[in-house]
Amino acid sequence: MNELYEAIEQKIKASGYPRAISGEEVYNDICDQIDGKENGTYLLLSKFEEDVVFEYHITIQDEDFNLGILTMRTPEGVFEADFDA
């Protein structure tokens, strides 16, 4: 799982996101957001920090999910990481 967490962190940092980030925390937040959801495509909003909102563009399948785009809205600006690229 560490490789997955590192990949998440690298994509987010490459977007120019200026804050410290934990791939594990992002992954766990996604899992919490999709818990109990049916298969489909969703736009999920999460207040990741007090002044930061993450928008997850996610497709949920039977046993897994695909994070397509993560948009991070912060006071410093809006940052976007494309996980399908």
List, for residues 15-72, the tens digit of each pLDDT value: 999 999 999 999 999 999 999 999 999 999 999 999 999 999 999 998 899 999 999 9
pLDDT at residue 28, rounded to an integer: 97
41's enclosing H/E stretch is strand 40-49
What is the mean predicted confidence (pLDDT) over 68-83? Answer: 98
Spell out the alpha helix ranges (H) of the chain: 2-14, 23-34
Q: How many domains are contained in the chain?
A: 1
Residue 14 domain boundaries: 2-82
Structure tokens at 81: 């990481």
Please provide residue 10's backbone torsions phi and psi, each rounded to the nearest 5 degrees: -65, -45
